[in-house]
Amino acid sequence: MNLLLFIGRRLLFIAPQLLGIVLVSFMLVKSIPGDPAVLMLGPTATPEAIASLRNSLGLDYSLPVQFWIYLQHLALGDLGTSWQTTRPVLEDLLQRFPATLELVTLGLLTAVVIGISLGLASAFNRHGVLARIADFYGLGAGSLPDFWLALVLIFVFYTLLQWVPAPLGRIDIAVIPPNPITGFLTVDCLLTGNWEALRSALGHLLLPVMTLGLINAGPILKMTQSTMEKILQSDFSHYQVLCGIPHRMVVRHALHNALPSVVTIISVLYGYLIGGAVLVEIVFSWGGAGQYAVQGVLNSDLYPVLGFVLFSAIFSLFVYLFVDIIYFTIDPRIGH
């Protein structure tokens, strides 16, 4: 019952947060230079045709009126239509968002494994070799741009060694993809038993996942390392050692107390990666929602940008809600 009340209180804040996010993103997107009507009709369009199209799109109204019209359509599940693809934005995002989600989820899991492993190893022996490696790696990961690392990995593993397929999309052109079930290509391959497509999908995932994992393991490593060091040096950890409690139990208790901080940085990275993986998607021609939104910005196609922001916001808010539930599970006193 306490957990249900805790979740209910958190859900009350989601609608106002979404409204604020939509309002801010709408105003920012509308400030992007460029006239959608001119881009849609081309440079040879007459002023009369441009004026007619602007009127039909509602661009002649003031920003508050345009925002109110957008909210009315949004309440009906209409995210608008992309003039580039001539399809509803909702359909485009439902098709592309799983590709982005699959990439960032696997990249984050890779970062979690690397970051927590190195963070724990360096915290146990602060003056050891692993601690020095972790310090050097943490500084390097925080200073490298992800798109630069992606280009380096492509040059080494594709151009020089020929170990991975060409960085073009999620699957080889000659391979027939499975019927979409979840939108996650690897999961759909497993569900349909399409092993050839699975091998191809994993090959295309390798470099972008490595890129995101290696870059984003740095913050997780630093948080794990600093939090574990602080807890292992605290009075209650020293008291456990003096009482003769086995070292394994002391470490387990310290890790339990460090979990909230580590979970927090992981959740923040997860929400960030939805939009932060845009450049990696472009480098690997991934065809995800981030690349779709960037094309919308470059072509003044506003509805794809707004739709992507809304999808990302909803996803991030529910990730944070899930993290709150984890907090409550670790320490039920948080709900009071």
Residues in the chain, total? 336
Residue 76: which residues within 8 A CB-CB, separation 6 or more? none
- How is residue 296 written in tokens? 């919308």
- How is residue 216 written in tokens? 């984003």
Q: What is the mean pLDDT of the chain?
A: 84
Q: What's the confidence (pLDDT) of residue 175?
A: 86
- What single letter denotes the amino acid at residue 303? Y
**What are the tens digits of pLDDT across the range 25-72?**
888 888 877 777 777 777 777 888 888 877 877 777 888 888 888 888
**Residue 81 main-chain phi, psi, to 5 deg:** -125, 135
Yes or no: say if 207 and 157 are a contact pair by the CB < 8 Å rule: yes
pLDDT, averaged per 10 consecutive residues of the chain (336 residues), comes to: 73 83 86 75 79 79 86 86 86 90 93 89 78 82 86 92 88 87 89 90 93 91 86 80 80 80 86 85 88 83 87 85 77 58
Question: Taking the CB of residue 258, how many other CB atoms lie within 10 A of it?
Answer: 24
Domain ranges of the chain: 2-75, 89-331
Q: What's the confidence (pLDDT) of residue 1?
A: 58
- What single letter denotes the amino acid at residue 167? P
Q: What residue has token string 């039920």? A: 332
**What are the tens digits of pLDDT across the range 114-128?**
998 888 888 877 777
Yes or no: say if 224 and 123 are a contact pair by the CB < 8 Å rule: yes
> What 3-state DSSP class applies to 182?
coil
**What are the tens digits of pLDDT across the range 81-114?**
888 888 899 999 988 999 999 999 999 999 999 9
Mention the CATH class of domain 89-331: mainly alpha
Instruction: Please tell me the distance from the alpha carbon of residue 266 to that of residue 270, in angstroms, as a whole number.
Output: 6
